Structures are given as structure tokens and as C-alpha cells.
Structure 1
Amino acid sequence: MKKLNGAILALMAGLIPVSNSLAQDQPEHSHAVHQHEGHHDSSQLVGKPGDPRKISRSVNVDMNDSMRFAPGSIAVKAGEVIRFVVKNSGKVKHEMVIGTAAELKEHAQAMAKFPNMEHDEPNQVTLEPGKTGSIVWQFDKAGKVDFACLQPGHFEAGMKGQVVVSH
């Protein structure tokens, strides 16, 4: 009860920001990562959906029930259009979501509250066990871009990775 009262007081005092997307119904919130891209200076670093006709190369990514991605670090060059061929080799649903560390953390917290949330965004793919899907993405600037599985508990278990973008 003390934790709840403290959270309510912090919220009322304006110490915890309120996201409009958290107050909306599930379908509206499913676009949270995409909606937030324009509000962060780092959004340009994350990149943008790539043109499938201009793919530079494909990178295979495996997701499994050890709560890891293989590989966990991926090197690309700025400007490349990458097709991530993502396979769920586990026995539970997994997903790969590209975003900033802050966006991914926020979205993981929302997924914990709305575990049946469905997604249809270009920066992510959600896969049932044994299925394969893809993300086509272009990285514009050098730096590090995060990706993670935001299924409830997976992010917290360490199911995260990075794309290292060089010049």
C-alpha cells in the first residue's frame, strides 16, 4: 500500500510523466513506439522503415526461450537497408522491436499491463513458435540502436540486443 500511495503522490505531483498512449485502449497503444519516435532527439538514430527494393543485405536473427537473440550484436553501415530475417526457434511467442532504450523500456512496461496487445508496426515483428518473419530497416546515422523482445517478462530477463551502426 505504501508503494501505491507513493506512486499516486508522485504522479499527482507531476514527478511521473503520464503517457497519453497508456490511458487509451489497447489498439491505440499498440502504436506507442512509432508515435514516440518524433518526440525523442534520438529518433533519427533509430532509422526508418527501409525500401524492400533497396535491400543491401539480409541478417538472420534467432529468438529462443533462453531469452536471448542470436546474434545479440549486429554491425551495419549508415545508409544500409537491412532485411532482418527473424526466426522464433522457441516454444513461446517472441518479438523483435527496434527502438531507443527508453522507448523499449517504456513499451515493455506497457506490455506487462496489456499482455495481449497486438502490434503492426514496421519496426517490429511478433512471431509464434517456429515461425519466421522479417523487418526491413534503414539505419541513417552512426551510433547504437537497440532491439528487444517486449513480450511480458522477456525484456526484464535480458532479451535485448544492439545494432552498431558505423560510417
Structure 2
Amino acid sequence: MPNIETLLLAALVATSGIARAHGDAEPAKKPAVAKKEQKDWGIAGDAKAARRTVEVTMLDSMRFSPERLDVKQGETVRFVVRNDGQVMHEFVIGTRAENDAHAALMMKFPGMEHDEPYMAHVGPGQTGEIVWTFNRRGEFDFACLIAGHYQAGMVGRIVVAAARQTKE
């Protein structure tokens, strides 16, 4: 019999309006983010502010290409993520701790999915897009948190370097 925490979490997910099951269908294009929430790894960006587009490929070998990205603090990047595989993959930006916690939850509830501006769920042969502003320095991860994918090593690294100071 499930414990009370499991039942409460399942009820929360079912009634929150932000969860939906992973599937093979390509999700609809994301609308503009109505309310931006500051995260440790940045904030949702405006497409008009993106000066660089980075293409990331997701593979059924449980790898991303490229596996490391370098950006400057303050930079807004448009990520175009392409699923070259035969199964659903996702691209989720976050801290290692945040992704570890979410991945553990996905193992318990494999049908769970959140629709956040730092996540793209991409069906086989499809593409998705995220626009993100890296307004904090540090090292962050991107990962596929679908049950088993993260555990198989489907993780990449984003290094956000301080913007160069100019002397006046």
C-alpha cells in the first residue's frame, strides 16, 4: 500500500494543472512566459533578446551533442533541441541538485511531466525550443530527466562565465 507522502504527491501533481503524461506526441509550441521566475541558473528569456542560437541534438545513446556549452553572464540564448532518436527525450536546464531531485521523482512517477520555461519535451524526429537568460555565473546542467535516461548519463554542462568588464 502506498504511503501517505506518495498519495499526497500524486494528488498534488494530478490537481496542479502543470503536470501531464510523457507521450510520443510532440507538445504544442510554448506560449510566451507570462510570469518569469528567477532560478539559480537564470530566468526565462525574451526571444527578441536572443543574439545566439545553440543547436543541441538528443540521441538514443542517451547523450547530447554538444555535451558542454559556454555562455556569458547576461547572455540570452535560444536553444533549438532536436531529437534524432526513436524515443521521447527532454532538455531540462537546472542545477545538479535540482535535476537529481526531479530525476528521482520521475523514477517514482514516470508519467509525470512539468511544463516550465527551462524544459523542452521533444518527440522522435521533432524539435523544441527554449529561450533562457543566464543572469547568474556558475556551472549548471542540462539533462533528460525521463526515467532511466538521466541515470544512463544523459547530462550536459553549461558554464556561465562572468561578463568581461571594460575599462573606461
TM-score bin, normalised by smaller chain: 0.7 to 0.9
Q: CA deviation at 1:23?
A: 6.3
**Pairwise mapping of residues 139-150 of structure 1 onto structure 2 (< 5 A)?**
139-150=134-145
In the aligned structure 2, how far is the partner of 1:102 from the partner of 1:118? Answer: 18
Residue 101 of structure 1, aligned match among 81, 96, 104: 96
Show the counterpart of 1:122. 117
Contact 1:27-1:117 at 8 Å conserved across structures:
no
Q: TM-score, normalised by structure 2?
A: 0.76
Contact 1:76-1:166 at 8 Å conserved across structures:
yes
Aligned amino acid, residue 134 of structure 2: F
In the aligned structure 2, how far is the partner of 1:127 from the partner of 1:138? Answer: 21
Aligned length: 143
In the aligned structure 2, how far is the partner of 1:98 from the partner of 1:144? Answer: 11
Q: CA deviation at 1:109?
A: 1.0
Residue 13 of structure 2, aligned match among 21, 25, 35: 25
Show the counterpart of 2:152. 157
In the aligned structure 2, how far is the partner of 1:22 from the partner of 1:57? Answer: 39
In the aligned structure 2, how far is the partner of 1:149 from the partner of 1:119? Answer: 13
Show the counterpart of 2:32. none
Deviation per CA, 1:39-94, whole angstroms, max 9, x where unpaired?
Answer: xxxx43x0000011111200000001000010010011111100000000000000
Identity of aligned residues (%): 49
User: Which runs of 5 or more structure 2 residues have no equivalent in the other structure?
Assistant: 21-36, 163-168
Residue 58 of structure 2, aligned match among 42, 52, 63: 63
Show the counterpart of 2:75. 80
For the residue of structure 2 that corresponds to 1:25, the secondary structure is helix
Compute the RMSD of aligned alpha carbons: 2.6
User: Which runs of 5 or more structure 1 residues have no equivalent in the other structure?
Assistant: 1-7, 9-17, 32-36
1:21–1:122 Cα change, 3 Å: farther
Q: CA deviation at 1:157?
A: 0.3
Structure (1/2) with the larger helix percentage:
1
Q: Which runs of 4+ in 1 moved over 4 A?
A: 20-23
Show the counterpart of 2:166. none
Residue 45 of structure 2, aligned match among 50, 53, 57: 50
Q: CA deviation at 1:120?
A: 1.4
Show the counterpart of 2:34. none
